[in-house]
Amino acid sequence: MYSFKNDYSEGAHPRILNALMESNLVQEDGYGEDQFSRKAVELLKEKMGRTDVDIYLLSGGTQTNLIAISAFLRPHEAAMAASTGHILGHETGAIEATGHKILSIEAENGKLTPSHVQAVLDGHPDEHMVKPKLVYISNSTEIGSIYKKSELEQLSDFCKKNKLILYMDGARLGSALCSEENDIQLSDLPTLVDAFYIGGTKNGALIGEALVICRDSLKEDFRYHMKQKGALLAKGRLLGIQFLELFRDNLFFEMAMHANKMATLLREEISKANIQFLTHSPSNQIFPILPNAFITELEKKYSFHIWEKVDSDHSAIRLVTSWATKEDEVVALIEDLKKYK
């Protein structure tokens, strides 16, 4: 049984474990004030060519989202997200638990545009309703699509004009930035969004997300919020060492490229087999539509999520690849998918 269920089925890239080993007995200060975390932050700033951003290392995506959003918003302000947005349906009300409503937007392909957001603003004119303030996007999105630079620029301009906060969930940012269709650089992001995170957990780290706060007014006292929400690890070095290794050379991007390459292989061969996709997804998640009976057969050899019903006989499944996905398992899956007709 091989798993295409997600991109966090294995541990970490071996280089990361080695880095933990090598540094293991060095004594360091706690709570992210160790030299590794400090260096990792500096390294990330270098990679972005920016010294004016603040960077914090956190343990997971939901944690990062809830701390950032609750730190950025005042009590009456709300987030906006595509209906597919992870914070809306897959984080057990984590944002609402901090007191903030999320306004859901039906969005083609999981991506928000200025007109989507404008419609929400129009529908929220006064104090009897929440004040829409933060635009949550994810790149790649929860259904595998990615933002083009021009799309992000338009959204960014719109948010600036309307004094909105633009926040990007980058749980799968590596795969997005390494997509064949991508035209955004990591160094573009601080100009385009007010805050974003670089996902480590889904791209080869044991745990770890690097939150980048770009807008000055959002920076104050951020470590207080981390501590208050239980996110300041005593052994913060665990995060620092990993991000240092991920970005010391090109490891972070190499792993994302491998994941994408495996997904592309699957996507192309599945297309050839005349199988349709639920959505256009040029990243490491693909969503082929298959007959239910055929899915049942596949489940005997592979594990994956059944994403949604398409009609009474067909469903879309989600196949996810990662830095650890083996090419021969992909080939085997392709062979099995070719039996479809």
State the helix-helix crossing angle for 35-48 and 237-248, rounded to 10 degrees. 40
Q: What is the rounded distance in angstroms from the CA atom of residue 24 to the CA atom of residue 26?
A: 6
Closest separation in Å from C-beta 323 to its own copies: 11
Closest separation in Å from C-beta 192 to its own copies: 25
Distances (CA, A) of 159 to 67, 126, 185, 297: 21, 19, 20, 47
- Ramachandran region, residue 63 (left: φ > 0; alpha: ψ -120 to 50; beta: rest): alpha
Q: Minimal CA–CA distance to 211: which of 60, 49, 55, 87?
A: 55
Closest separation in Å from C-beta 134 to its own copies: 13
Q: What is the rounded distance in angstroms from the CA atom of residue 305 to the CA atom of residue 319?
A: 7
Q: Using alpha carbons only, how large is the chain's radius of gyration in Å?
A: 20
Nearer to its own copies, 6 or 162 (CB): 6
Nearer to its own copies, 264 or 325 (CB): 325
Nearer to its own copies, 78 or 168 (CB): 78
Q: Cβ(209)–Cβ(201) under 8 Å? A: yes
Q: Cβ(170)–Cβ(197) under 8 Å? A: yes
Kindly give the pairing relationship between strand 165-169 and strand 195-199. Answer: parallel
* H helix intervals, the chain: 14-22, 35-48, 61-72, 86-89, 94-97, 114-122, 149-161, 173-177, 189-192, 222-228, 237-248, 251-272, 292-298, 327-337
Q: Cβ(97)–Cβ(87) under 8 Å? A: no
Closest separation in Å from C-beta 257 to its own copies: 19
Closest separation in Å from C-beta 151 to its own copies: 27
Closest separation in Å from C-beta 308 to its own copies: 10
Nearer to its own copies, 17 or 295 (CB): 17
Nearer to its own copies, 182 or 325 (CB): 325
The residues, ordered by sequence, that sit 6+ positions from 30 with a Cβ below 8 Å of its Cβ are 234, 235, 236
Closest separation in Å from C-beta 88 to its own copies: 9
How many other β-carbons are positioned within 10 Å of the β-carbon of residue 118? 12
Closest separation in Å from C-beta 26 to its own copies: 7
Nearer to its own copies, 28 or 188 (CB): 28
Nearer to its own copies, 8 or 147 (CB): 8
Q: Cβ(243)–Cβ(45) under 8 Å? A: no
Closest separation in Å from C-beta 46 to its own copies: 25
In 96-232 the beta strands, taken as DSSP E runs, fall at: 102-105, 131-138, 165-169, 195-199, 209-213
Nearer to its own copies, 63 or 260 (CB): 63
Nearer to its own copies, 25 or 51 (CB): 25
